[in-house]
Amino acid sequence: MKLQELTGRAPQLPLSLTLENGQLVQLEQWLRVLPEQRYVAKAQWQGRTVLAKIFVGKKAERQFQRELAGAQLLTEQQIPSAALLASQQQADGSAYLLFEFIDNAQSLAEAWLECSAEPPLSKRQTAILSQALSAVAQMHLRGLWQSDLHLDNLLQQGDQLYVVDGGGVESEHAGQPLSQEKVVANLAVLFAQLPSAFDAHLEELLVHYLLANAEHALRLESLHKHILSIRQWRVKDYLNKAGRECSLFSAKINLFGLQVVWRAAQDALAPVLSNLDSVIATGHIYKTGGAATVARIEHNQHALVVKRYNIKNPMHWCKRFWRPSRAWHSWREGHRLSVLGIATPQPLAVIENRWCGLRGSAWLISEYCGEQDIIDRLASYQASGVVPELEINALVELMNALIREKISHGDLKGHNILWHQQRCYLIDLDAMQQHQSMRSFTRAYAKDRNRLLRNWPQTSPLYTLLDQRLPQLPSSCPED
């Protein structure tokens, strides 16, 4: 097969490609695919394992030139990166680059996932971020920056850290330190991907950057401003992706239905999606009838939670058909929390029945995160009198995160906070809202806090303890 003939999201492997010079590239494993544009794979070429980047379609030449220029900049400025072994823009418009394949390596993003649930700036988190900041500082010192900077583009093999993905590498004045303005803007791209709880530790984190590049004095106020702006854009961009066909989500939306599935779970969920109501009927029912039916199901030795939002009667349908379903609202808010680093079960799929665009019943499928809620978890405190510091601190952390992001839950009873992996997970996001003003959020937060405290008698020691420890906001806040 020729490069230009590559099509689809996941062409069947193994696949043999013939280059214009007659050489063969045997593709073994897809690493990243942008259909009809860019295909990245682990491959065999001339008896060695390589990373193959293949460009097809109308944007092939531009993307190839950017990738090639970025790879050359990294090499020229002696930034550790995968060696470029071969590259060519072919006569039919397709193009390729073949890089040395870095074996037994782990991206810093993968390492971060293993410790992301730990309290901010744990030992493992600090080690990962210090490596990343040191690598970024080295690039900035040589006049380079990566426009699409994230931990996935930093690959660790033993003690060596490599910068990968030259397509996002740009230069101001190669060989000369990057200007302060561009340094701040680029660092903000990295920090904006961390939960906002890390914003309080920026000064401490910047020490790791300044040890490698002290060319500029970096103003925290300016950096904070850039981080906030980029984080808001990232959330908006991610939520837009959660409603359309893209590399992260598979979406089928028309006048007679909506189905959006997290692509990583698409194949595993296919049997469930084809017969949702039957699957619910065979599962463990938590709640049935009325406005919603909730069940835990077992599929491929993996537990899931399916929530069906019912239409109770014609009057209920008249109130619901014209606006986004509660399943869709929960789907978006679940992804909002995930991208902001606030714990919630991973939303996997959302389905709406529609008739000529008018909405009916809807379903939401999420990961299962256990059944112990915060009420059950704290029940033993009433009898023992031992202060549950771990649980209280987790609750405080959750409430502080909601305050930082100006997010109100709308029904923050204890049953809607699960205790899982030593963290508090929010569920039932039907009424969740991110506020634009501090004034409206303050009112909503007060209601959330009061609703949570009502789970325990006012005369109980637990109520008194939580009332003392849970963060409060002034009753009157200026509009912002």
The verdict on 345 and 403 lying in the same domain is no
The domain boundary, picked from 315, 343, 367, lies at 367
Are 385 and 440 contained in the same domain? Answer: yes
Same domain, 116 and 223: yes
Instruction: Please indicate, yes or no, if residue 53 is contained in any of the structural domains.
Output: yes
Q: Give the end of a domain, one of 100, 125, 153.
A: 100
Q: What is the pLDDT along the chain (480 residues), one digit of tens a residue?
A: 999 999 998 899 999 999 999 999 999 999 999 999 999 999 999 999 999 999 999 999 999 999 999 999 999 999 999 999 999 999 999 999 999 999 999 999 999 999 998 889 999 999 999 999 999 999 999 999 999 899 999 999 999 999 999 999 999 999 999 999 999 999 999 999 999 999 999 999 999 999 999 999 899 999 999 999 999 999 999 999 999 999 899 999 888 789 999 999 999 999 999 888 899 989 999 888 678 899 999 988 889 999 988 866 566 555 656 467 889 999 999 999 999 999 999 999 999 887 765 677 889 999 999 999 999 999 888 667 788 899 999 999 999 999 999 999 999 999 999 999 999 999 999 999 999 999 999 999 999 999 999 999 998 889 999 999 999 998 655 555
Residue 241, domain member (yes or no): no
Based on the fold, state whether residues 93 and 116 are members of the same structural domain: no
Which range of residues forms the domain containing residue 217?
Answer: 106-233
Domain assignment present for 88: yes
Q: Domains in the chain: how many in total?
A: 4
> Which is it for strands 169-171 and 144-146: parallel, antiparallel or unpaired?
antiparallel
Class of residue 17 by CB neighbours under 10 A (exposed 0-12, middle 13-18, buried 19+): buried
Please indicate, yes or no, whether residues 346 and 410 belong to a single structural domain of this protein.
Answer: no
148 is a domain residue: yes
- What CATH number is attached to the domain comprising 88? 3.30.200.20
pLDDT above 70 covers a percentage of the chain that reads 94
Is 474 a member of any domain?
no
| Whether residue 262 is found in the same domain as residue 223 | no
**Domain annotation covers residue 68:** yes
Could you say which of 233, 262, 290 is where a domain stops? 233
